[in-house]
Amino acid sequence: MKYENFSAKKLQICVFFCNFAPKMENLYRHLYHWYEINHRILPWRETEDPYAIWLSEIILQQTRVAQGMEYYMRFLNRWPTVEDLAKADEAEVLREWQGLGYYSRARNLHKAAKMIGSSFPKTFEELRALPGVGDYTAGAIASFAYNLPYPAMDGNVYRVVARLLDIDEAFDTSAGKKLFHQKIEELLDREHPRLFNSAIMEFGALHCTPALGDACMTCPLQECCLGYAHGTAEVLPVRKPRPKVRDRWFTYHVYLCGDETLIRRREEKDIWYHLYEFPCEEGQTEDKYPFTHVLSHQKLHARFIVHNVQKMPDIAGTICIRWDELNDYALSRLTLRALDTMQHKA
Ligand code: SF4
C-alpha cells in the first residue's frame, strides 16, 4: 500500500469503524431511545400495508409531510387498494394529484398499479422494477412493509450519515452515492431494519436538521459523531454544484365569453405533460410577469391576460368549457395560483 495515498481522513474513518463495531450497540440504543420519545405519529409508519407505504413514499418525494398527509388520506380513501387504483383513469389520478407538482410521479403511480395487479411485489428487486421506484423507495417499502434489511437513503439520512462519519464527498455524484451506500450498509441494523430506517430518517428530519443550531449540544449520538468531534458537522453534507437554472416566460390568454372559457391540454414532452392550461405563448416581452414559479431546473415567469370577447377565437388544440368546469381538469399549480388571484380580485 502507498501510504501517501492513504489520507488522514480515510485513516480516521477506518479507525472510527475499527472502534465503531463495539459501539454500534450504543448507537442503536441511543437512536431508538430518541425515536421512541420523539417520533411523529405518521399514518404510513403505523401500517405494514405495502400499497399504503408505497403511496406515501411517492407522494412525499419533493413534498412536505403536512401537505403530503392530505393527499395520502385522499388517495387511500378514494382508492383503498392497488387494484382500485389500477382501475382508475389516468385523468382522474392526475386530477386527484393536482397541486402536488411533479406529475410524472402520478403517471408512474398509475402505471405501476396496473402492472402490479392483485399481488404486491415482495422483494427489493421486484419493487425496484416498478416505474417511479428507485433505490430509496424500494428500500423504504422493503424495510417498512416486510422488515427486509435494505437501507432507505433519503436526504435526511444522507445528512446524518455524512455528519456521523464526517464524509466530505458530495453525496449526489455517482461516486458519492456509492460511498454513502456502502457506509449505510455498514451502519444498518440488520436485525431491526424497519426500526433503524424509521429512526434515522426521523432523527434527520427532526434533530440533525440542515440548520443545526445547538442540536449537537443535546444530541444523544454526540459521542459517536465524527462531524461533531471534528467541528465539520455544520458544513456537511456536501452537494455537487447546482446546474444553472433556465428562465422561461409565459403569456396566458384567459378568454371569457359569457360563462365559457378556452383551455388546452399540454401535449409537448415538456413540463406539465397532459395537464390543462389556458392558451399560452412562450417568450419574453417588455411587459411585467407578476407570477413566478420555481421548478427544479427552471424558473417560470408568467402573466395572465383576460380577454372579454363576444365570440371565442378559433385556437387550434383548445376546447371550450364552462368556467365552473375548470375544477374537473388537472391544472398546473401555476394556473391554480393565477385562478386563486383572479377569484380574489373578482
Ligand atoms: S452531534 Fe450534531 S451533527 Fe452529530 S448527529 Fe448529533 S446533531 Fe447531528
Task: Report the separation in Å between the CA atom of 164 and the middle of ligand 1, taken as the mean of its atom positions.
Answer: 7
To test the ligand 1 pocket, which listed residue (27, 219, 224, 232) has its Cβ within 8 A of the most ligand atoms? 219
Q: According to the model, what pLDDT value does residue 102 have?
A: 82
Give yes or no for residue 19 having a pLDDT over 70. Answer: no
Q: What is the pLDDT of residues 103-123, one digit of tens each?
A: 889 999 999 999 998 789 999
Asked whether residue 36 falls in the same domain as residue 151, the answer is yes
- Whether the CB of 163 sits within 6 Å of ligand 1: yes
Q: According to the model, what pLDDT value does residue 344 have?
A: 67
Task: Indicate which residue of 4, 36, 48, 57 is catalytic.
Answer: 57
Q: Answer whether 241's CB lies under 8 Å from 252's CB.
A: no
Q: According to the model, what pLDDT value does residue 9 have?
A: 46
| 125 within domain boundaries | yes
Write out the residue range of the structural domain in which residue 310 sits. Answer: 246-345
Q: What is the pLDDT of residues 45-98, one digit of tens each?
A: 999 999 999 999 999 988 899 999 999 999 999 999 999 999 999 999 999 999
- Whether the CB of 227 sits within 6 Å of ligand 1: yes
Of 182, 215, 235, which residue is a domain's last?
Answer: 235
| 241 within domain boundaries | no
Total number of domains in the chain = 2
| 1 within domain boundaries | no
Give yes or no for residue 172 having a pLDDT over 80. Answer: yes
Q: According to the model, what pLDDT value does residue 346 have?
A: 62
Mean pLDDT value across residues 148-170: 96
- Whether the CB of 206 sits within 6 Å of ligand 1: no
Asked whether residue 284 falls in the same domain as residue 197, the answer is no
Q: According to the model, what pLDDT value does residue 241 have?
A: 86
Asked whether residue 219 falls in the same domain as residue 267, the answer is no
Active site residue 234: no
CA distance readout (Å), 258 to 15, 82, 177, 254, 330: 76, 42, 57, 13, 23
- Whether the CB of 60 sits within 6 Å of ligand 1: no
- Whether the CB of 216 sits within 6 Å of ligand 1: yes
* pLDDT category of residue 18 using cuts at 50, 70 and 90: very low
Task: Report the separation in Å between the CA atom of 213 and the middle of ligand 1, taken as the mean of its atom positions.
Answer: 10
pTM (predicted TM-score): 0.74
Residue 151: other Cβ atoms inside 10 A: 24
Buried b (16+ CB within 10 A) or exposed e, 298-325: eebbbbbeeeeeeebeeeeebeebeeee
Task: Report the separation in Å between the CA atom of 229 and the middle of ligand 1, taken as the mean of its atom positions.
Answer: 9
Q: What is the pLDDT of residues 286-295, one digit of tens each?
A: 889 999 999 8
Q: Answer whether 195's CB lies under 8 Å from 150's CB.
A: no
Instruction: Classify residue 280 by its DSSP letter.
Output: E
Determine the angle formed by the axes of helices 193-206 and 8-38, rounding to 10 degrees: 90
Asked whether residue 129 falls in the same domain as residue 149, the answer is yes
| 2 within domain boundaries | no
Task: Report the separation in Å between the CA atom of 100 and the middle of ligand 1, taken as the mean of its atom positions.
Answer: 32
Asked whether residue 178 falls in the same domain as residue 223, the answer is yes
- Whether the CB of 232 sits within 6 Å of ligand 1: no
Mean pLDDT value across residues 139-156: 97
Q: What is the pLDDT of residues 203-231, one digit of tens each?
A: 999 999 999 999 999 999 999 999 999 99
| 240 within domain boundaries | no
Bridge partners of 292? Answer: 301
Asked whether residue 205 falls in the same domain as residue 257, the answer is no
- Whether the CB of 164 sits within 6 Å of ligand 1: yes
CA distance 45 to 195: 10
DSSP state letters, 119-166? S---SHHHHHTSTT--HHHHHHHHHHHH--S-----HHHHHHHHHHHT
Asked whether residue 276 falls in the same domain as residue 166, the answer is no
Q: According to the model, what pLDDT value does residue 165 have?
A: 95
- Whether the CB of 233 sits within 6 Å of ligand 1: yes
| 75 within domain boundaries | yes
Q: Answer whether 213's CB lies under 8 Å from 194's CB.
A: no
Q: State whether residue 13 is helix, strand or coil.
A: helix
- Whether the CB of 165 sits within 6 Å of ligand 1: no
| 203 within domain boundaries | yes
Asked whether residue 217 falls in the same domain as residue 312, the answer is no
| 222 within domain boundaries | yes
Q: According to the model, what pLDDT value does residue 1 have?
A: 35
Asked whether residue 99 falls in the same domain as residue 123, the answer is yes
Asked whether residue 162 falls in the same domain as residue 214, the answer is yes
Q: For the chain, how long is the longest CA-to-CA vector?
A: 83
Q: According to the model, what pLDDT value does residue 285 have?
A: 87
Assigned C-alpha cell, 326: 375548470
Of 235, 259, 289, which residue is a domain's last?
Answer: 235
Task: Report the separation in Å between the CA atom of 209 and the middle of ligand 1, taken as the mean of its atom positions.
Answer: 9
Ramachandran area for residue 137 (φ above 0: left; ψ -120 to 50: alpha; else beta): alpha
Instruction: Classify residue 257 by its DSSP letter.
Output: B
Looking at the CA of residue 222, tell me the nearest atom of ligand 1: 1
Looking at the CA of residue 207, tell me the nearest atom of ligand 1: 7
Q: According to the model, what pLDDT value does residue 322 have?
A: 95
Task: Report the separation in Å between the CA atom of 216 and the middle of ligand 1, taken as the mean of its atom positions.
Answer: 5
Q: State whether residue 211 is helix, strand or coil.
A: coil
Q: What is the pLDDT of residues 229-266, one digit of tens each?
A: 999 999 999 999 888 899 999 999 999 999 999 999 99
- Lowest-pLDDT choice from 14-18, 37-41, 319-323: 14-18
**CATH at 180:** 1.10.340.30
Strands of the chain (E only): list them.
246-256, 260-265, 276-277, 280-282, 291-294, 298-308, 318-322
- Lowest-pLDDT choice from 28-32, 115-119, 149-153, 313-317: 115-119
Asked whether residue 187 falls in the same domain as residue 251, the answer is no
Asked whether residue 150 falls in the same domain as residue 46, the answer is yes
To test the ligand 1 pocket, which listed residue (167, 202, 214, 216) has its Cβ within 8 A of the most ligand atoms? 216
Looking at the CA of residue 236, tell me the nearest atom of ligand 1: 3
Q: Which of 59, 92, 98 minimizes the C-alpha distance to 340?
A: 98
Give yes or no for residue 14 having a pLDDT over 90. Answer: no
Q: According to the model, what pLDDT value does residue 345 have?
A: 66
Of 202, 235, 268, which residue is a domain's last?
Answer: 235
Task: Report the separation in Å between the CA atom of 267 and the middle of ligand 1, taken as the mean of its atom positions.
Answer: 47
Q: According to the model, what pLDDT value does residue 117 have?
A: 83
**CATH at 287:** 3.90.79.10
Q: According to the model, what pLDDT value does residue 15 have?
A: 43
Give yes or no for residue 274 having a pLDDT over 80. Answer: yes
